[in-house]
Chains A and B, each alone.
Chain A
Amino acid sequence: MRATDLVAKAARNTVRSKTRTTLTVLALFVGAFTLTLTTAVGAGVTDYVTKQVDSLGADDVFVVTRTAAATTDGPVAYDPETSSASTGTTAPALPGASGSDPLTEGDLDELAAFDGILSVDPIQVAAVDYVRYDGGSRYELTINPTSSITRSDLVAGEQLDSSAGAGQVMLPSDYVDALGFASAEEAVGSVVTLGITDVLGVQSTVDATIVGVSRESLLSSGAGANTALVADLVEVQSAGVDTGDPRYAIAVARFDADLSADQVSALKADIVDAGYGAQTIQDQLGVIKTVIDGIIGVLNAFAVVALLAAAFGIVNTLLMSVQERTREIGLMKAMGMRSGTVFALFSLEATVIGFLGSAIGAGVAILLGTALNGALAAGPLAALSGLSILLFEPGAILGIILLIMVIAFLAGTLPAARAARKNPIESLRYE
């Protein structure tokens, strides 16, 4: 028998008893629908988190802090040589960077001496009073201290250039309207004025060019400033007054991007041994990812349970079908159909049922999910811009359809083997 005829015959056979096929397909539909949605949620959230990771920083940096003494072995004895005063008020600019002692210039030199560390830059905090454009209204603005090392989720323009000599600013998208720009694209390239008050209480201004407009992000907020702008702002802020040894809450240590994961871990261990806290961006997000993966895993498990139940439905349906079509099987065998072909015919029928259930389930999930995405983005999740909670990836959907077809095929092998074993004479006598 020709392969095309075999497939066509299997497909025709599935639609011959419509009610039974429909019910079996429905069972698979539930599984496919659930699995498609949970996978899409997983993909959507992971995609969003990945964008957030990018907005937190590059892959080749450690965020280095002084290990908070209080969290280790109780109070630490004061030593004028190594101890530095803890402010306790340092804003947690990054997850994992809270509650630590400041870093001194000495610490930075020590860090830079580690083998594999290319450069160590302190993160300086510039407190801007306001931003205004072209003499318009003034709005408060926070400069994200780590913005010089991060990549933003761009609406328009490009990323900050840390090597540029001129001051650059990355504006959050909600400032576009407020400052009087018609669109994000129009804002890019314009020069805004930043107001800043120095330590002596005198207010002055610094100009900066908008290079990009960023989407609001869950894990980092505020405007971005490149290294040159931060340096300008800090200089104006200090007003030439010597405030003593500079102290920094956080430093960014760039390491060689060619290092392997193991080498990075070793380097990190060395830095931690020296009394610092060092975390890569991946470390900081590892926890979040683990939680998300766990939730998605549980949801997927439910879908797989539904699929297993559906698989027994297929076994049952096809066993009934084999019983009902005993004489047809006998006839086909009498006419020279080989047992292998009978087996193929019935397992293909199961696979066709699997395809119908999974394709319809995935299709409906996509339609419904897309509608839901729009509704959620406009309503409850409006605050998380850039998040589409359900992300349907063609590869994943194809994988789900294939998985269900394989499950259906496996479920079909038992009835198919029973059909293939039938003796044509006894089958033809069967009443």
Chain B
Amino acid sequence: MHQDLVVDAHGIGKEYGRGAARFSALSDVTLQIARGECVAIVGKSGSGKSTLMHVLALLDAPDTGRLSIDGVDTRQLSARQLTTLRNRTFGFVFQQFFLTPGTSVLDNVTLPLEIGGTPPRQRRARGMAVLEQLELADKARSNANDLSGGQKQRVVIARALVGEPSVIFADEPTGNLDSATGAIVEETLFSLNRDRGITLIVVTHDEDLAARCDRQIVLRDGVVVSDSAAVAA
């Protein structure tokens, strides 16, 4: 398990609030995720699973512990290097899509490349290639608002994929979809993991979705209560 770790977290702790309102969102979380794994982080609302995802995705800094991404200790990086690392390494799929209204599907998909500083011509080519794979090429010029829920989530996946990330974080990816379209979106995500070896980290409270992942990490009150990989090991 020590070869090629994408995520290597040791004793992560995170607290919110101050004084009497202080509570511990995460305490002493240690976990390792290897390249190409498909991991579900499961827990009830308030279990700390979202906080864990934010910390792992470098959106939030842990109060204690250390975290290495692709073998790089994140404590050594400047804020600028952190944002660059996030831009290059991660793709995000959110429950609420977060598509920019009034903007074309293609522009939405290529946003991470635009932020990363890719020249327009390459952006377009890669954006179209990704949309092609997700069978959305004919929607490239459409307004992102005019799509159905399932199409929107596939656009979001295309956006997560366009930067060729090594890890995709999916936060309740099917939470806003009916079961039929949800199944299609799930299949798309799993196939990316299966066929292209992209590490998939799914945050969900949906037991069925979690069960389809190779490994489940269960959180309760900010503590890891079970990790199927640890059991298997």
Interface of A, helix, strand, loop or mixed by DSSP: helix
User: How many interface residues does A have (CB within 8 Å)?
Assistant: 21
List of B residues within 8 angstroms of A331 by Cβ: 92, 94, 98, 100, 111
Which one of B57, B80, B98, B119 has the highest number of Cβ atoms from chain A below 10 Å of its Cβ?
A: B98
Chain B's nearest CB lies how many Å from the CB of A74? 83
List of B residues within 8 angstroms of A328 by Cβ: 98, 100
B66 contacts A by Cβ under 8 Å: no
Chain B 53-69: CB-based contact to A (< 8 A → 1; otherwise 0)? 01001011000000000
Q: Give A16 to B60 CA distance when docked, in angstroms.
A: 31
A-B contact count (CB 8 A): 59
A336 contacts B by Cβ under 8 Å: yes
Query: B114, A1: Cβ atoms under 8 Å?
Result: yes
When the two chains form the complex, which single residue of B57, B85, B111 contacts A332, counting CB atoms closer than 8 Å? B111
When the two chains form the complex, which single residue of A5, A337, A424 contacts B59, counting CB atoms closer than 8 Å? A424
List of A residues within 8 angstroms of B88 by Cβ: 336
Query: A5, B86: Cβ atoms under 8 Å?
Result: no
Which one of B88, B100, B117 has the highest number of Cβ atoms from chain A below 10 Å of its Cβ?
A: B100
Q: Give A1 to B59 CA distance when docked, in angstroms.
A: 19
Which one of B100, B115, B117 has the highest number of Cβ atoms from chain A below 10 Å of its Cβ?
A: B115
Query: B60, A5: Cβ atoms under 8 Å?
Result: no
List of B residues within 8 angstroms of A1 by Cβ: 114-117
Chain A 159-181: CB-based contact to B (< 8 A → 1; otherwise 0)? 00000000000000000000000
B36 contacts A by Cβ under 8 Å: no
Decide: A9 near B114, CB < 8 A? Known: A328-B100, A331-B98: yes
Query: B86, A336: Cβ atoms under 8 Å?
Result: yes
Query: A332, B102: Cβ atoms under 8 Å?
Result: no
Q: Which residue of A lies closest to B100 (CB)?
A: A328
Q: Give A330 to B54 CA distance when docked, in angstroms.
A: 13
A132 contacts B by Cβ under 8 Å: no
Query: A16, B102: Cβ atoms under 8 Å?
Result: yes
Q: Give A143 to B101 CA distance when docked, in angstroms.
A: 77
Decide: A336 near B112, CB < 8 A? Known: A327-B98, A425-B54, A425-B60: yes
Q: Interface extent on B, as a size class? A: 20 to 34
Chain A's nearest CB lies how many Å from the CB of B88? 8
Query: A336, B83: Cβ atoms under 8 Å?
Result: yes
When the two chains form the complex, which single residue of B102, B115, B120 contacts A335, counting CB atoms closer than 8 Å? B115
Chain B's nearest CB lies how many Å from the CB of A233? 79
Chain A's nearest CB lies how many Å from the CB of B165? 10
A334 contacts B by Cβ under 8 Å: yes
Chain A 312-340: CB-based contact to B (< 8 A → 1; otherwise 0)? 00000000000000011011111111100
B45 contacts A by Cβ under 8 Å: no
Query: B117, A335: Cβ atoms under 8 Å?
Result: no
Chain A's nearest CB lies how many Å from the CB of B62? 13
| Subset of 29 A-B contacts with CB under 8 Å | A1-B115, A1-B116, A1-B117, A2-B114, A2-B117, A2-B119, A5-B114, A16-B102, A331-B94, A331-B98, A331-B100, A331-B111, A332-B115, A333-B83, A335-B86, A335-B87, A335-B111, A335-B112, A336-B83, A336-B87, A336-B88, A336-B115, A337-B83, A338-B79, A338-B80, A338-B83, A341-B115, A425-B54, A428-B98
Ranked nearest first, the 7 interchain pairs of A and B with the lowest CB-CB distance are A336-B87, A336-B83, A336-B86, A331-B98, A337-B115, A16-B102, A335-B112
Residues of B whose CB lies within 8 Å of any CB of A are 54, 57, 59-60, 79-80, 83-88, 92, 94, 96, 98, 100-103, 111-112, 114-117, 119-120
